[in-house]
Amino acid sequence: MGEILSNVVPFELRQAGPWMGEAASEVKPVRAVYTVKEVAAMLSLSVSSAYALVRAGQIPAERLGRRWVVPRSRFHAWLDGAAGGLSATGTDSPRGGW
């Protein structure tokens, strides 16, 4: 019986490698912003609805040139309700009619 247990090899997690589609040394940085399209997918909304909520100030976002970006930390704080009752724009009065 002791002979069978001596053949047991402990399980070890493998590092990601080329067989998993990425190099073991490659580490993806955490992005600081989301696109409105990514936010729409996370919230199960259409892209046009997400843009409407961004323009209305309901989803926290910033204009960068001609495009909207959603800061990751503000989005998750807003999603978790950590804004303390403030609107997505960070003011006491919401801009939109939602």
* pLDDT of 55 above 70: yes
Q: Identify whether the C-beta of residue 54 lies closer than 8 Å to the C-beta of residue 70.
A: yes
pLDDT for res 28: 80
* pLDDT of 7 above 90: no
The DSSP element (H or E) to which 28 belongs, if any, is none
Distances (CA, A) of 24 to 11, 29, 30, 47: 19, 14, 17, 35
Query: Which residue did the predictor score with more confidence, 17 or 32?
Result: 32
29-40: burial string, b at 16+ Cβ within 10 Å, e else: eeeebbbbebbb
- What's the CATH number for 31-80? 1.10.10
Q: What is the mean pLDDT of the chain?
A: 77
